[in-house]
Structure 1
């Protein structure tokens, strides 16, 4: 499911890249689009990284409890 969303995001990026290539979107909005595409990706990866750390901590606590 996650890979499916990554694939959709990749198509979305390509779509905006081609729009920019043919200059359908004015130059003023290009920076807004870059921020709109890059920042959500970074925040999603941060969220997954934090979740991963939380899961690792829980596993370590369980190991300590049963040892």
Structure 2
């Protein structure tokens, strides 16, 4: 994935979860391509809003 804006990384899939980090505009990272309720899964405690990301490769995600 790559960010299309600066985004907050949340501890869960929702704005009610705490911010655990940020990604700058244009930063790339691994995440599941499929989103759930508008959120992409990075790890069990890291999620970002789908609307601020774009898939840049079809390489399978390293996360199960």
TM-score bracket for the superposition, by shorter chain length? under 0.3
Structure 1-normalised TM-score? Answer: 0.20
Higher RCO structure, 1 or 2 (CA under 8 Å, sep 6+): 2
For the pair shown, which has the larger CA radius of gyration, 1 or 2?
Answer: 1
Report which of the two has the higher share of strand: 2
